[in-house]
Amino acid sequence: MSMIDFSASIARRSMVRLTSCRTDATCAPTTPPTRPAVPSSAPAGPLRATERVATSSWSWAAETPRSELLTAGTMRLHRRSRGRARGGPRGLDRWARRCGRIREPDQGARTMTAGSPRAGRRPDGTPRRALVTGANGGIGRAIVQRLTDDGYEVVTMDVAGPADLVVDLVGDPMPTEALADIDVCISNAGVVDTLSPAHRMSAEKWALDIDVNLTGSFRVVQACLPGMRERRYGRIVLTSSVAAAIGARGQVAYCASKAGLIGMARAIASENVAHGITINCVLPGTIATPKVLAMPPEVVERVRDRFMPGGRHGEPEEVAGLMAYLASPEAGFVTAQSIIIDGGAHLGNVSLGDPGKGD
């Protein structure tokens, strides 16, 4: 069984990579990518990350040095349906043709009126297709599992190894034909690596979080919108953060990038609500992901005791459940909303009376 992997690495000039991989073979992250044939007109010698060699309708670049990465590894895109890869072997060209069929005249059955249909499958009987970025994290894995359990064909972006094809997320055109048949876009990828107060924040540190959390999310959503508008159906869910609503000391760039998602969602909602497309933001608090639980036990307990009124962290499956609803046909009347899911932590434990005295 084979699948198409769409890999993306977050580099100082963010790079998106496309490659193919067989599920019955091991794709070792340490194996260097195979170079495509270089045209005779290409410059001799090794390519730098900024040099491009045309290959068909795409461009290729040398792998960005690891020292330039904002986050380690790459993101790879897999197609899944109830946990399985779908379809037989196909190359990038066949993938592009398949995704591009929504633009063919004989596919009129896939054109929908605004807000319809209220079903889990398309008019032609195929499962709805969802894209989940940041699928390698604790919340991302829970989202993928929930959507596949609900019958979606899921395309995931995870942090993983090498790739054959590189596109600059900031400067190059996004591969819209590879994302043209996406019905549900869940932008969950993000970083929270920049810790600095505002008066010491450098332009480079500021750009790191903005490029990944805000610009990267926008470009993925932008690539999915044309197909959604043509079919007059789409669900977009953005993972923001409760920090966007209440702030966090030392995380000015992170808070700004996550708050930017909320403004972006409102603008996109107003532009696309008449096309049957909804977009909402989910603002998680402290969630029991592997990264959070890997902190020293005393830190985990202190955070729970000081900031968790319910006495526990949230579970990734709880966030996934909220996102699954917002991604469903039943949520067609919900758009431009920012929903906090933090167990009441943003309330600051404010009490209006003695709970021991009842009402």
Among 152, 233, 254, 325, the one annotated catalytic: 254
Residues in the chain: 359
Residue located via tokens 């992901």: 289
Catalytic residue check, 254: yes
**Is the separation of the CB atoms in 258 and 241 below 8 Å?**
yes
Beta bridge partners of residue 7, listed in sequence order: 17
Segment holding 130, helix H or strand E: strand 129-133
Sequence-distant (6+) residues with CB within 8 A of 352 are: none
User: Scanning the structure block, which residue is given the tokens 């993983």?
Assistant: 160
Question: First and final CA of the chain: distance in angstroms?
Answer: 61
How far is 135 from 76, CA to CA, in rounded Å?
9
The secondary structure of 229-247 as a DSSP string is: HHHT-EEEEEE--THHHH-
CB 309 within 8 A of CB 316: no
DSSP class of 211 = I
Say whether 266 sits in a helix, a strand or coil: helix
**Residue that is written with structure tokens 């390519």 in the block:** 47
- In three-state secondary structure terms, 121 is strand
The angle, 0 to 180 degrees and rounded to 10, between the axes of the packed helices 252-272 and 216-231 is 10
CB count in 10 Å sphere of residue 355? 8
Distance CA(108)–CA(128), nearest Å, equals 17
**The amino acid at 120:** G
Residue type, 271: E
Run of H or E residues at 270: helix 252-272
- Residues classed as catalytic: 254
